[in-house]
């Protein structure tokens, strides 16, 4: 107990005394964690948006109209579709429902429907998939079917989107790893500088008979404190900014109707604080290593 309070006193005393180095280290941690936090927020947000878009990849199967398929043919196809494991859900849109939708879309100008004598719209199946990537396979199964007129699923858009999301995710991962390495290097360097300034102090401690761990603990506590505080402020800034931006964007782009605030605040806070603490401790340990060999 006496020992722990001694270490704490040593650590905080030296943080106060070497306030210039403390501030330098704090700023380094802060900047690193802000960038890391920014990337995390970006990853979570785009990931959620992309998932949302992916989910909108639907297959629409238009049935022939001349003649319209019989109820029996429709029922057979419906059974088939629901039996496929790739299919998440499907619904049958009758000719009447299709017309009804169209009328709703053009509720402002009902006059364009006045001249209609019969319903020209085809009935259709709308199919949502478990995995949007299987859209090609599922769509191909309708080819040549006697009651199918046309299959639509925005093939090119889907393909491009998948290519882009895959690439974006890989890129982000690489970026995060690189960023982590840069942050640790920066911080261990800052801490090394501060330890270098205290090389003599460490030497004296060793000559008086302090063990390596006895010397190390106050430095580790310093590193952890700096890491934690820097990360705490950075987290508040990143998440606060995200919250503010999401608010502004969704006010202006209300029609998007997408979940913009997809960031798990608690998880991101825990990750950033943990990274800050680990970086601070690792920086101290790495920085100190050279000087303990007296």
Binding site for another protein (CB under 8 A): 2-3, 6, 13-14, 17, 201, 203-212, 214, 294
Q: Provide the minimum distance between the beta carbon of 17 and another protein in the complex, in angstroms, as a whole number.
A: 6
Alpha carbons 210 and 204: distance in angstroms, whole number: 9
Residues 76-109: b if buried by 16+ CB within 10 A, e if exposed: ebeeebeeeebbeebebbebeebeeeeeeeeeee
Q: Provide the minimum distance between the beta carbon of 206 and another protein in the complex, in angstroms, as a whole number.
A: 7
> Closer CB to another protein, residue 27 or residue 294?
294
Residue with tokens 């992916």: 54
- Helix 19-55 / helix 212-252 crossing angle, nearest 10 deg: 40
> Closer CB to another protein, residue 157 or residue 210?
210
Residue with tokens 């501030």: 23
> Closer CB to another protein, residue 169 or residue 289?
289
> Closer CB to another protein, residue 17 or residue 152?
17
Q: Provide the minimum distance between the beta carbon of 203 and another protein in the complex, in angstroms, as a whole number.
A: 8
Q: Provide the minimum distance between the beta carbon of 188 and another protein in the complex, in angstroms, as a whole number.
A: 23
User: Which tokens belong to 154?
Assistant: 């925005």
Alpha carbons 217 and 12: distance in angstroms, whole number: 12
> Closer CB to another protein, residue 25 or residue 59?
25
CB atoms within 10 A of CB 178: 10
Alpha carbons 107 and 101: distance in angstroms, whole number: 10
Alpha carbons 79 and 107: distance in angstroms, whole number: 34
> Closer CB to another protein, residue 99 or residue 285?
285
Alpha carbons 51 and 44: distance in angstroms, whole number: 11
Q: Provide the minimum distance between the beta carbon of 230 and another protein in the complex, in angstroms, as a whole number.
A: 24
CB atoms within 10 A of CB 186: 17
Q: Provide the minimum distance between the beta carbon of 21 and another protein in the complex, in angstroms, as a whole number.
A: 13
> Closer CB to another protein, residue 15 or residue 43?
15
Q: Provide the minimum distance between the beta carbon of 205 and another protein in the complex, in angstroms, as a whole number.
A: 7
């Amino acid at each position: 107990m006496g020992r722990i309070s001694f270490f704490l006193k040593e650590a905080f005393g030296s943080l106060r005394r070497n306030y210039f180095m403390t501030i330098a280290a704090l700023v380094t941690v802060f900047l690193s964690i802000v960038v890391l936090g920014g990337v995390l927020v970006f990853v979570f947000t785009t990931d959620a948006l992309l998932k949302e878009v992916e989910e909108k990849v639907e297959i629409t199967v238009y049935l022939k109209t001349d003649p319209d398929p019989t109820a029996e043919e429709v029922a057979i196809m419906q059974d088939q579709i629901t039996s496929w494991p790739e299919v998440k859900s499907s619904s049958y849109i009758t000719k009447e429902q299709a017309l009804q939708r169209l009328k709703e879309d053009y509720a402002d100008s009902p006059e364009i429907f006045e001249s209609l004598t019969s319903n020209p719209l085809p009935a259709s199946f709308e199919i949502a998939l478990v995995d949007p990537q299987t859209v090609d396979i599922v769509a191909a199964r309708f080819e040549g079917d006697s009651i199918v007129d046309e299959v639509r699923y925005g093939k090119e858009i889907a393909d491009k989107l998948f290519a882009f999301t895959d690439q974006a995710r890989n890129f982000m991962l690489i970026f995060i790893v690189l960023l982590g390495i840069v942050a640790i290097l920066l911080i261990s360097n800052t801490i090394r500088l501060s330890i270098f300034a205290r090389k003599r102090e460490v030497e004296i401690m060793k000559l008086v008979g302090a063990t390596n761990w006895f010397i190390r603990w106050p430095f580790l506590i310093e590193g952890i404190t700096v890491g934690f505080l820097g990360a705490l402020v950075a987290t508040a800034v990143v998440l606060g900014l995200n919250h503010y931006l999401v608010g502004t964007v969704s006010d202006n782009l209300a029609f998007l109707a997408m979940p913009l605030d997809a960031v798990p605040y608690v998880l991101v806070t825990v990750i950033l604080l943990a990274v800050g603490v680990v970086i601070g401790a690792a920086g101290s340990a790495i920085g100190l290593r050279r000087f303990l060999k007296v």
